[in-house]
Chains A and B, each alone.
Chain A
């Protein structure tokens, strides 16, 4: 029974492929640097390489059985599939950051720039605060530097980009890592294969920190 897996391209794929290889899946073709997007050489595991935000679209439509993507995307987009396993790779965290003179207790309604408006909105709702959200597609660090926003909600792994842009983290929101998500009906239709894959991944994924 073939399992079709949508894998987020780029860093997620690079960090997950060694895990998949360790479970015995032949990932040689996926590891080659080329522009191929569809990998059907292995009769048991087919892969599609897609942009991270598209993983859930493929999964929700049932085009693929499994999606492997960052929990940032899962939280931001929301979904009804089974978020079954934290693969413990691609670990980073959401932070609230700004220039050092930012006052988190300022009385004015804050303007927050982010690529993740839903996650940011939920954070400020939990804080009991209403803020103005500005959706930015990239280089979010620029927003407080240019005065367009008071602060940003973004992902950081080591904090290097923040430091290089003279920004400071004021709060940590939620941790982020790569997850394995399964289409609800595919889990029933392909239970033995998915069970085996998950058991194998549980054995080879990094230890919890």
Chain B
């Protein structure tokens, strides 16, 4: 019976959703090309070691052996293959790359999730300037604007913030690791127990509020001002503030939030990272950030890099369904082939009606709830 079933976590794509998804990809591609990004495409199969830096808790790659007995995987990520490509060729940075493709992650079985996810994204490799973050964010926000994504919230974080705060706390390494874990998992019970002995520390008022230090940018900046000494983590806060100001200036309708409690998505993130979401949907529409340690596992000098990826499936399920024109069938005699094809080409949502008689065409149109355009001469239908 397995020839009649899909493997767990996969799906066929067809109908209006498939059309919508394809349209989104075309719109995104056009944006990336117009902004001067070059298309890059890497194989579906890679050696498992390419993804060694990738930590995705609770998810595994599909893996198999190649003819030499080496383990290959269906790519669970699209950024690391680009680092592999750059580190093994003579391509000179900086590069502006865009990509679209599917990634594969084996998630918890029978949980209602899919293991094949479409991503589209950009990578700017070779730029240390904050302008690279701004360029990525601007592209992504413009795409969301174009797709009429309503009530977009952009959340900014900094990968260096949490380690810098933890570094200043006089705790033994084991306690510090436990505190970091409790903090990132927001286990308030453990966090409070572990921070209680620091009550005499000047940072204690901040530590008490820290797990809740996320929300509208202004309010988080205000809390930081009240809770932290002015010089503390000044550089990170300044970069965030400049970025918030830039976004406010460029995109007046955008909601910008800060999260100074967030764990970076991967260990190679080194600066600002971000996620975007809309109310009432529980997936991020796009995510990304600065990862200057991206090349670390490819035996090549580190290169500054910023990138982001859209979850195309989440975006497809978020954007409004456009009002579709009614389905139209166009029927004509074989001798009218060109005329019939021309009508199909100029009518919205139309297709050729490939049956041999008008009677059949009428039956098909009726059963498909479609409009029928009959181009056949009247005498021929009698």
CA distance A84 to B183 in the complex (A): 10
Contact (A82, B282) CB under 8 Å given A57-B111, A60-B111, A189-B277: no
- Asked if B300 is at the interface (CB within 8 A of a chain A CB), the reply is no
Among the listed stretches B35-43, B116-124, B184-192, B360-368, which one makes contact with chain A, having 4 or more residues with CB under 8 Å of it? B184-192
Q: Which B residue's beta carbon lies closest to that of A79?
A: B58
Contact (A186, B282) CB under 8 Å given A57-B111, A57-B112: yes
- Asked if B155 is at the interface (CB within 8 A of a chain A CB), the reply is yes
Number of chain A residues close to chain B: CB under 8 A:
23
User: Do B185 and A189 touch (CB < 8 A)?
Assistant: no
CA distance A60 to B281 in the complex (A): 12
CA distance A80 to B111 in the complex (A): 14
B155 contact set on A, CB distance < 8 A: 188
B113 contact set on A, CB distance < 8 A: 60-61
Question: What per-residue 1/0 map shows which CB atoms of A177-191 lie under 8 Å from chain B?
Answer: 000001101111101
CA distance A205 to B257 in the complex (A): 32
Partner of B188, one of A78, A85, A189, A191: A85
CA distance A83 to B184 in the complex (A): 10
User: Do B283 and A62 touch (CB < 8 A)?
Assistant: yes
Least Cβ–Cβ distance between B267 and chain A, in angstroms: 16
Give chain B's interface residue range (CB within 8 Å of chain A): 20 to 34
User: Do B187 and A83 touch (CB < 8 A)?
Assistant: yes
CA distance A64 to B215 in the complex (A): 21
User: Do A83 and B282 touch (CB < 8 A)?
Assistant: no
CA distance A62 to B279 in the complex (A): 12
- Asked if B291 is at the interface (CB within 8 A of a chain A CB), the reply is no
- Asked if A102 is at the interface (CB within 8 A of a chain B CB), the reply is no
User: Do B111 and A187 touch (CB < 8 A)?
Assistant: no
A52-81 residues at the B interface, CB under 8 angstroms: 57, 60-62, 78-80
Least Cβ–Cβ distance between A173 and chain B, in angstroms: 18
A189 contact set on B, CB distance < 8 A: 277, 279-280
Partner of A84, one of B108, B187, B257: B187
Q: Which B residue's beta carbon lies closest to that of A187?
A: B186
Contact (A191, B215) CB under 8 Å given A78-B58, A185-B284: yes
- Asked if A198 is at the interface (CB within 8 A of a chain B CB), the reply is yes
Contact (A183, B186) CB under 8 Å given A78-B58, A188-B155, A188-B257: no
Question: What per-residue 1/0 map shows which CB atoms of B242-281 lie under 8 Å from chain A?
Answer: 0000000000000001010000000000000000010111
CA distance A59 to B281 in the complex (A): 13
CA distance A79 to B107 in the complex (A): 11
A175-209 residues at the B interface, CB under 8 angstroms: 182-183, 185-189, 191, 195, 198, 202
B188 contact set on A, CB distance < 8 A: 84-85, 198, 202
User: Do B189 and A86 touch (CB < 8 A)?
Assistant: yes
- Asked if B325 is at the interface (CB within 8 A of a chain A CB), the reply is no
CA distance A59 to B112 in the complex (A): 12
CA distance A60 to B186 in the complex (A): 16
Least Cβ–Cβ distance between B311 and chain A, in angstroms: 12
A28-71 residues at the B interface, CB under 8 angstroms: 57, 60-62
CA distance A80 to B138 in the complex (A): 30
CA distance A187 to B188 in the complex (A): 14
User: Do B214 and A61 touch (CB < 8 A)?
Assistant: no
User: Do B259 and A188 touch (CB < 8 A)?
Assistant: yes
Partner of A185, one of B57, B186, B187, B277: B277
A77-135 residues at the B interface, CB under 8 angstroms: 78-80, 82-86
CA distance A68 to B280 in the complex (A): 20
Q: Which A residue's beta carbon lies closest to that of B191?
A: A84
CA distance A159 to B214 in the complex (A): 44
Q: Which B residue's beta carbon lies closest to that of A192?
A: B215
User: Do B259 and A61 touch (CB < 8 A)?
Assistant: no
User: Do A185 and B189 touch (CB < 8 A)?
Assistant: no
User: Do A83 and B186 touch (CB < 8 A)?
Assistant: yes
Least Cβ–Cβ distance between B361 and chain A, in angstroms: 44
CA distance A189 to B281 in the complex (A): 9
Least Cβ–Cβ distance between A112 and chain B, in angstroms: 23
Q: Which A residue's beta carbon lies closest to that of B186?
A: A82
User: Do A188 and B187 touch (CB < 8 A)?
Assistant: no
Q: List 28 A-B contacts (CB under 8 A).
A: A57-B111, A60-B113, A61-B111, A61-B112, A61-B113, A61-B282, A62-B281, A80-B57, A82-B186, A82-B187, A83-B185, A84-B186, A85-B188, A85-B189, A182-B186, A185-B282, A185-B283, A185-B284, A186-B282, A188-B153, A188-B155, A188-B215, A188-B257, A188-B277, A189-B280, A191-B212, A191-B214, A198-B188
Contacts A62-B282, A84-B188 supplied; 16 other A-B pairs, CB < 8 Å: A57-B111, A60-B108, A60-B111, A61-B113, A62-B281, A79-B58, A80-B57, A82-B186, A83-B186, A84-B186, A84-B187, A185-B284, A188-B155, A188-B257, A188-B277, A195-B212
Interface residues of B (CB under 8 A from A): 57-58, 108, 111-113, 153, 155, 185-189, 212, 214-215, 257, 259, 277, 279-284
Lowest 5 A-B CB distances belong to which pairs? A62-B282, A82-B186, A86-B189, A185-B282, A84-B186
Interface residues of A (CB under 8 A from B): 57, 60-62, 78-80, 82-86, 182-183, 185-189, 191, 195, 198, 202
